[in-house]
């Protein structure tokens, strides 16, 4: 399992480097759309497990359309369109529920889960587009990825080596307080090194706050996805990435960290 995990990670590195450094804004957005569709598919399979686990029907289909639209709106820099698509998705879902409620009393729950998925996946992913297309976007994407993924590695290894006290056993029995602290320490070290060499003009005090906030958000994202999988009675969100599970398993921390990073980049740092 560990070997597969490392092989998959190492194989993805050249692709990520070329995508961020050479791919351009449009190709980056296309890749995010693909990730969005795959992540929504996994999400729907998890949350609709009690309905057969198959993300079919008008409401999930509308979710894919709205998700792609939100990513596109972020690509063209239209905040109004992003908000409008979220609202329109909710209105159309409500109209669909009116036609189906008589034959399917659980349709309201389906809508709730779909709307949550739209916020959780495409809306949060759209922050990556907004970061990428802003000033110094490529550098900031690297910045975010290094902090999140190194924090994940730090938490995993510290938890495996020193973990004694459970962090949130009801949600994820394997995660420990020691692992969480190790992950945050990795966030601080990697973030500080990256800032020193690539973004030296950022103020240190606010940068340290950024590292901690991003790290905490990433860990919350990890736990949130673990909770979804526990409710859906799944070990992994999928099997697309050998050694990692599914797309959601790989981007769970990034999804929550991206909005925090965007907020800090645009309004604080």
Which pLDDT tens digit goes with each residue over 13-55? 888 889 999 889 999 999 999 999 999 999 999 998 776 655 5
Instruction: Note the pLDDT tens digit of each residue in 223-234.
Output: 999 999 988 888
CA distance 11 to 40: 24
Q: What kind and span of H or E run contains 175?
A: strand 172-176
The pLDDT assigned to 163 comes to: 81
Average pLDDT, the chain: 90
Domain count, the chain: 1
Res. 77 pLDDT band, cuts 50 70 90:
very high
Q: Nearest to residue 134, comparing CAs of 264, 269, 268, 262?
A: 262
pLDDT for position 52: 62
Query: Which of 4-18, 54-68, 195-209 has the highest mean predicted lDDT (pLDDT)?
Result: 195-209
- pLDDT at residue 182 greater than cutoff 90: yes
Residue 198 corresponds to which tokens in the numbers above?
A: 């690539």
DSSP letter assigned to residue 269: -
Does residue 238 contact residue 249 with C-beta atoms inside 8 Å? yes
User: Mean pLDDT, to the nearest integer, of 8-16?
Assistant: 77
Give the domain extent around 181: 2-268
Half-sphere exposure of 35 (CA within 13 A, CB side): 24
For the chain, percent of residues with pLDDT exceeding 90: 67
Distance between CA atoms of residues 53 and 43, nearest Å: 10
């Amino acid at each position: 399992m560990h070997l597969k995990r490392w092989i998959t990670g190492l194989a993805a590195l050249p692709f990520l480097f070329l995508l961020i450094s050479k791919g351009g804004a449009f190709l980056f957005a296309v890749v995010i759309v693909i990730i969005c569709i795959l992540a929504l598919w996994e999400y729907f399979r998890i949350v609709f497990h009690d309905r057969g686990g198959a993300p079919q029907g008008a409401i999930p289909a509308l979710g894919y359309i709205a998700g792609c639209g939100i990513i596109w709106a972020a690509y063209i820099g239209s905040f109004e369109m992003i908000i409008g698509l979220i609202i329109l998705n909710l209105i159309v879902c409500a109209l669909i529920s009116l036609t189906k409620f008589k034959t399917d009393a659980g349709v309201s729950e389906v809508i709730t889960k779909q709307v949550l998925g739209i916020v959780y996946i495409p809306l949060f992913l759209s922050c990556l587009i907004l970061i990428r297309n802003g000033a110094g976007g490529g550098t900031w994407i690297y910045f975010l990825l290094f902090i999140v993924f190194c924090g994940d590695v730090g938490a995993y290894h510290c938890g495996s080596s020193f973990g004694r006290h459970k962090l949130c056993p009801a949600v994820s029995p394997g995660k420990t307080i020691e692992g969480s602290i190790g992950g945050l320490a990795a966030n601080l070290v990697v973030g500080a090194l990256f800032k020193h060499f690539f973004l030296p003009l950022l103020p240190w005090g606010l940068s340290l706050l950024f590292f901690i906030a991003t790290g905490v958000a990433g860990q919350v994202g990890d736990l949130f996805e673990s909770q979804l999988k526990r409710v859906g009675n799944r070990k992994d969100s999928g099997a697309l990435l050998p050694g990692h599970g599914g797309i959601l398993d790989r981007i769970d921390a990034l999804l929550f960290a991206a909005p925090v990073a965007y907020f800090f980049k645009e309004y604080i740092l």
